Amino acid sequence: MVVLKEMAKSDLQAMQAELQSLYDDFQKRGLKLNMARGKPSPEQLDMAMGLLTALPEDERPLDDSGEDTRNYGLLLGINEARELMAEYLGVPAANVIAGGASSLNLMYDTVARAMSFGVLGSTPFSQQGKLRFLCPVPGYDRHFAITEAFGFENIAIPMTDEGPDMDLVEKYVNEDPTVKGIWCVPKYSNPQGVTYSDAVVRRFAALKPAADDFRIYWDNAYEVHDHYPNTANTDQLLNLKTACDEASNPDIWYMFASTAKISFAGAGISALASSEANIADIERRISIQTIGPDKVNQLRHVRWFESLGGGKGKGLQGIKLHMQRLSELIAPKFEKVDAELSRGLADLDIASWRKPRGGYFISLDVVPGTAKRTVLLCQNAGVTLTEAGATWPGGYDPADSNIRIAPTYPSLEELALACELLCLCVKLAAIEKLLS
């Protein structure tokens, strides 16, 4: 074991020279790898190709109620899509709006609606002065970007191993009426892979917001995205709706989900769930906004998932079976990253990372002050990582230590190479820092 910061300066310099030589070799190889975003690999997408022809051309695509999915109507989506996504989220179908390809768009629209029209009759956010939104960190950059765009002050809330720091969340939410929401990825969080504990979910449900238009934005992006499904090595998330109902807080939650990382990333179906009062409020607004979601694609998804699951009403079984197949592609990639990081960085005391049991990311913490440098070194040798700082509001990580790794898109061979380079860069940046 060689703890880097205990090494003599001359040894550090020798190590730096050796690493630099390896890095120069990498640069000569002309790599072009991308681990920047949580994109499914082509092989994952190939496993959903049956979706393309799930609706035969010789049969009108009618839903169970006889409605023609090709035509106008059914603003909240077809019943069977609402039911499938309801089962997926663990809520009744009456609480669900089934949407189009992008759940991010549902989240954006939910914030935008509150800006223009308020929430359940409250004053529009745009007329309430400067407002705040809570952002667990490290977290999902695209969440933070939405509230930043609408002028919110995004407040960083540190993550713990059980979820956001709830003492801080309670303090903000229960005492500050300008706090209007919190972004959550409650299961296999982006980027750490933390699943909120039952106690954390219950504390969310029991919040007593100072603002009556405060809402929990619960982006359950990875509900079925276990790396080891059907084993003890999976996380369980307590149901937020149930907890909120028990805490007599029925309207405090919005849930979001999509099949983006189940079927096709850019052509799935999505869902927004909330209390019936919230859904009725939203329905009234979206009746002005749109003629409705693509119901043909909703039916296509339901039919295909049902065919995988073994028949009518077995869509969720189909999803789970499909996710098990996908996990056989995904889990080895996460294991490869973990193994490479262990091989390259263990014992040096310059980096730490979590080994998530699901989701799409690995969160790597490097020596404070070296994350940006590490990402730049990787970039200059042909491996693109998520920009350092992206996991913080405004793209600014005050410690400059967090790096998000997205292992799903590259092949195993590419991953091994990229991680080898990453470890090299983490070490180079750390030594530079120690020597400076």
Shortest reach from residue 45's CB to its own copies, in Å: 4
Q: Compose the 95-124 pattern: x for residues touching its own copies by CB under 8 A, - for all others.
A: -----xxx-xx--xx--x--xxx------x
Omega within 30 of 0 (cis) for the link into 40 = no
Positive/negative CA dihedral, 297, 302, 303, 305: positive
For Cα atoms 49, 57, 294, give the angle at the middle one, nearest 5 degrees. Answer: 70
| SS3 state of residue 369 | coil
What the block records as the tokens of 187 is 């299961």
81 binds its own copies (CB under 8 A): no
User: Which listed range, 94-102, 348-356, 357-365, 376-384, lies at the site for its own copies (CB under 8 A)?
Assistant: 94-102
Rule CB under 8 A: choose which of 6, 58, 161, 413 binds its own copies. 58
**DSSP label at 62?**
B
Q: Which CB sits closer to its own copies, 287 or 380?
A: 287
Query: What character string, x for contact with its own copies (CB under 8 A) and - otherwise, covers 252-291?
Result: --------x---xxxx-----------------x--xxxx
Q: What are phi and psi of 399, to 5 degrees?
A: -90, -10
Residue 70 makes contact with its own copies by CB under 8 A? yes
Whole-number Cα distances in Å, 260 to 255, 264, 364, 377:
15, 5, 25, 31
CA distances from 96 to 58, 62, 73, 341 (A): 31, 20, 16, 41
Stretch near its own copies under the rule CB under 8 A, chosen from 21-29, 51-59, 211-219, 373-381: 51-59
| Identified binder of its own copies from the candidate list 25, 46, 64, 246, rule CB under 8 A | 46
Identity of the residue, 34 or 239, whose beta carbon is nearer to its own copies in the bound complex? 34
User: Cβ of residue 273: shortest distance to its own copies, in angstroms?
Assistant: 19
Per DSSP, 260 falls in state T
Contacts of residue 217, defined as CB under 8 A and 6 or more positions apart, other chains included, come to 107, 110, 143, 181, 182, 183, 184, 254, 256
Joined together, the tokens standing for residue 371 give 């994350």
Task: Tell me how far, at minimum, the Cβ of 331 lies from its own copies, in Å.
Answer: 20
Closest separation between CB of residue 152 and its own copies, Å?
12
Check residue 163 for interaction with its own copies (CB under 8 A): no
Near its own copies by CB under 8 A: residue from 91, 146, 381, 428: 146
The Cα–Cα gap between 128 and 122 comes to: 10
Least Å from the CB of residue 25 to its own copies: 30
Cis check: omega of the bond before 138, within 30 degrees of 0: yes
Cβ 170 to its own copies shortest distance, Å: 29
H/E stretch holding 39 reads none
**Do residues 285 and 61 make contact, with C-beta atoms less than 8 angstroms apart?**
no
Centroid of chain to Cα 210: 28
Q: Which of 2, 27, 73, 398 binds its own copies (CB under 8 A)?
A: 73
Q: Which is nearer to its own copies, 150 or 349 (CB)?
A: 150
**Interface with its own copies includes 49 (CB under 8 A)?**
yes
Binder to its own copies among 2, 3, 22, 149 (CB under 8 A)?
149
Smaller CB separation from its own copies, 92 or 124? 124
Structure tokens that stand for 412 in this block: 């195993």
Question: Which residues, numbered 286-325, are part of the site for its own copies (CB under 8 A)?
Answer: 288-297
**How far apart are the C-alpha atoms of 397 and 400, rounded to whole Å?**
5
Which of residues 15, 94, 120, 145 is near its own copies by CB under 8 A?
145
Closest to 321 in 3D by CA, of 342, 336, 339, 306: 306
Stretch that binds its own copies, among 56-64, 88-96, 168-176, 346-354 (CB under 8 A): 56-64
In the complex, the smallest distance separating the C-beta of residue 221 from its own copies, rounded to whole angstroms, is: 12
Which residues are at the interface with its own copies (CB under 8 A)?
37, 39-40, 42, 45-46, 48-53, 55-58, 60-61, 68-74, 100-102, 104-105, 108-109, 112, 115-117, 124, 126-127, 142, 145-146, 149-150, 260, 264-267, 285, 288-297
